[in-house]
Chain A
Amino acid sequence: MRPASARQRALAHGRWETSLLMRNGEQLLLTLVIPIGILLGLTMTDVLVQQAGPDRIPRAIATVLAVSVISSAFTSLAIATGFERRSGALRFLGTTPLTRSELLIGKFLATAAVTAVSTAAVCLVAVLVGWRPSASALWAVPVLILGTAAFAAWGMALAGLLRAEAVLAVANGLFLLLIMFGGVVIPAASLPGPMSVIAPALPSGALVTGLTDALVDGHAPSALATAVLLAWLAGGALVSSRTFRWS
């Protein structure tokens, strides 16, 4: 008997996870409503002084996309995986031909699909409110992929390390900390004391830097931002591969 190939199983799991995510009302809120709401808030008001001026819209897009990636690839993924373990759904999958790496790839593909939908919606609304992107904005695509992979790896690592209820608390807490003090809403340079040094080394800070390079400055992401994201991806992949449990 020739088993279904690893690629087929990973894709099948990616499709399955995507269908679950897209039918989840809470996820749609996180994917579409909140990012678009934040974008409109940032572009139509002077909530953040540093985002005033001609770069207001692309800076707002960078912020919103970073929030979207962190919420989808880290917070939502970690919480969903934690509760899948608690419900026994992961335990059952552990008895099927789906392997650990195929499950992780499938989850990344689903998260990437959700991020793509969110990005498309944000960009569409940004165009409607006056954004006129240049071709260099496409540099944001590899940054988003790298950022999604890095945060997904740490989301899976968190889900492997803690019980579901603890994952819920920690993932939401880290989300707020990263948004507020990780160089997302408040630029790293404007953060007080050592935070201004630490934030660019965090995946959130590097993600915003890379997106700003592409969307505001119109060039490839800086080597530092890319290296930081790659390092967090490698670390997250290592931890998640060691801590992942089916049950």
Chain B
Amino acid sequence: MPPPAVLVSDLVVRYGSRDAVAGLSFAAPAGRVTALIGPNGAGKSSTVEVCVGLRAATSGSVQILGIPAGTADAAALRSRVGVMLQDGGLYSSARPLALVEYIASLYPRPDDPATLLGALGIDPAGRTPIRRLSGGEQQRVKCAVALVGRPELVFLDEPTSGLDAVARRTFHDLIRGLVAQGTSVVLTTHLMDDVERLADQVVVIAEGRAVRSGTIAELVGEEESVSFRGPLHADLTGLRAVLPDHGDVIEDPRGHYRVTGAADPMVLSAIAAWCAQNGVRTADLSVGRRSLEDVVIALVGDL
């Protein structure tokens, strides 16, 4: 079994008196997509910064492609890793092809910049400077500079932010293609759709620690819940009172209601009876597995 692409052990990153990362441990398997998810301030970005060499760890250890981070020849290790940053990172006055060609020149066996840009939907012959591209186009240029060095491991920080639906599908296909070639991917995102479509392994982080990790199936589990559609912002005080085992009802998103707790016939019966007694029209009353988003919110609160 190959060593993990990323192995983080008891990582602590401290800013002043605050621990942004407080003893985080996880392993990102080689040749797979590992998603780091959690609310803002959970410590995801600080963790990635340590992994890519932009920040020193306060304590703990990080191994990248089997090499302890910070001890190996930096250029040699960074030749094998690609990074797509969430904020900035592009020379705004440059043209996309010129920038990607420059970045390619720093790597030993780069991809063809024009072909890569074309695959991402950016015209390689375009003369528009990066600052005049749309947000989604700039995001695709960032993706190109992260991938042009043919990395063995890629860190992607909010990669589909600002992309339209078609561009996101293209991006998903690109990532699947990379993984099929053996590339390891560490994905940081708030979009559960990206995680569900791409991730083989999920690490849920809150307050600087991993609160749960596993495959999506492992995280979602076999547990089921009841949901239904109803009028917007319905007063559900009465329904809560009749639910067995102190179950709760949550409206999220608007007009969609999810009942927490066990999903048994008694709950279905209680909901149907309450709605009939109170003249509440419902639709899609059903029992199903929880979504990944439900699981994560239950673990860490709002994303």
Contact = CB atoms under 8 A, between A and B. Distances in A.
B106 A247 contact: no
A95 B52 contact: yes
A92 B90 CA distance: 8
A20 interface: yes
A89 interface: yes
A98 B81 CA distance: 12
A23 B98 CA distance: 12
Interface stretch (B71-79, B201-209, B271-279): B71-79
Given A24-B93, A88-B87, A95 B54 contact: yes
Interface in A93-123: 94-99, 102
A1 B92 CA distance: 32
Contacts of A12: 102, 105-106
A104 to B, nearest CB: 14
Interface string B68-106: 000000111011110101011111111000100011011
A44 B91 CA distance: 41
Interface string A3-38: 110101100110110011001100000000000000
Nearest to B98: A19
A45 interface: no
A87 B88 contact: yes
Given A91-B88, A95-B52, A6 B75 contact: yes
Given A20-B94, A247-B54, A9 B106 contact: yes
A131 interface: no
B36 interface: no
A4 B107 contact: yes
B108 interface: yes
B88 A1 contact: no
A246 interface: yes
Contacts of B88: 87-89, 91-92
A87 B90 CA distance: 8
B109 interface: yes
Contacts of A99: 74-75
Contacts of B54: 91, 94-95, 246-247
A89 B106 contact: no
A1 B94 CA distance: 30
Contacts of B93: 20, 23-24
B145 interface: yes
Nearest to A8: B105
B53 interface: yes
Nearest to B48: A95
A30 B116 CA distance: 37
A1 B83 contact: no
A87 B145 CA distance: 16
Given A91-B54, A95-B53, A99-B75, A4 B105 contact: yes
Interface string B96-137: 001000110111110000000000000000000000000000
A19 B97 CA distance: 13
Contact of A4 (B80, B87, B106): B106
Nearest to A92: B89
Given A88-B89, A95-B53, 11 more contacts: A3-B107, A3-B108, A6-B75, A9-B75, A9-B106, A20-B93, A87-B90, A92-B89, A92-B145, A96-B106, A99-B75
Interface of B: 52-54, 74-76, 78-81, 83, 85, 87-94, 98, 102-103, 105-109, 145, 149
**Which 6 pairs of residues, A with B, have the shortest CB-CB distance?**
A88-B88, A92-B89, A95-B83, A12-B105, A97-B75, A3-B79
